[in-house]
Amino acid sequence: MGIPAWIWFVVAAVALVAGLGLLAADRAKEGSRNRERMRWAQLRGWQFVEEDERLPQQWSGGAIGYFGADAAVNVVAGSTFTSDGRRPVFIFDIESEGQIPAVVVAVRCNKKHRIPIEMWLSSVPFQRADMPEMLGPIGSRYAFADDADGARVVITQELVDAADQLGGDVGVAWLEAEWVLASVVPTAGPSRLERLLRDLGEIADIVDPFDEDYEAGRHQAGAPIPAAGPVPPASPPTPAAGTPVQQPPAEPPAPQD
């Protein structure tokens, strides 16, 4: 004896109600995030727009390349102070296939980075089709860049230490064009985003100091990067801290009269 048709009708009705409930919950969550982000922008005197399809097209690395981005939603635009001065910022949710996989925070530098560099947590399954070359572990992260020699100039011990302070909810931080960017979990609220902005501002001051030439000074002493090896598994053990920066030898004493 087969299952009566009314039972299938009840099952379908229950599934429909459950689906509508989940959709309503998702919309309520999105609406709450939208209102929270808008209030935060208003308190800071920043601009807020609900959606910008063109904004993510400025970048192709890091979380943008990993998740893809159909649009940026709940976008905040403004500027923040760092120890080296005021810098423009963006904060936005990545929308990919109708989902929000991450929040991106971006701080603008005055100079364009010659070498795009990605710094991924070792616990993140960061592989993708167009991934740059893996250079090796730097602190608790792995560095990726297509120009190893150029990357060594930028990845100083100071940068490694600052990247280690970003937190375990920041899957990737990266340098691209004239921006320093990072992605954080989509549940991050304004207070967490404020801390991440300060941390990225510190990184921006390291890689783009206002009072130093980008080609000289502290950027001449980069932290050595291990030779690239096979790509690690998705969740490798946390690597050892990066090798300390070598300091230039002291100048010889002046000859006595």
Digit-coded pLDDT (tens) for 187-234:
999 999 999 999 999 999 999 997 654 444 444 434 445 444 444 444
pLDDT at 33: 76
Determine, yes or no, domain membership for 45. Answer: no
Tokens describing residue 233: 């598994």
* Residue span of the structural domain in which 205 resides: 50-220
Determine, yes or no, domain membership for 235. Answer: no
Determine, yes or no, domain membership for 33. Answer: no
Q: What is the mean pLDDT of residues 162-172?
A: 96
CA dist 77 and 163 (Å) reads 23
Determine, yes or no, domain membership for 245. Answer: no
How many structural domains comprise the chain? Answer: 1
Determine, yes or no, domain membership for 255. Answer: no
Q: What is the mean pLDDT of residues 103-125?
A: 94
pLDDT at 70: 92
Do the Cβ atoms of 183 and 170 come closer than 8 Å?
A: yes
Least confident residue range of 74-88, 143-157, 166-180, 213-227: 213-227
pLDDT at 128: 85
Determine, yes or no, domain membership for 60. Answer: yes
Region for residue 80 given its phi and psi (left: phi exceeds 0; alpha: psi -120 to 50; beta: otherwise): beta
What is the layout of strands, in order, in the sheet containing 47-52?
Answer: 47-52, 71-82, 85-95, 103-108, 179-184, 170-176, 117-121, 141-144, 134-138
pLDDT at 117: 98
pLDDT at 243: 37
Determine, yes or no, domain membership for 28. Answer: no
Q: Greatest CA separation found in the chain?
A: 114
pLDDT at 199: 97
Determine, yes or no, domain membership for 30. Answer: no
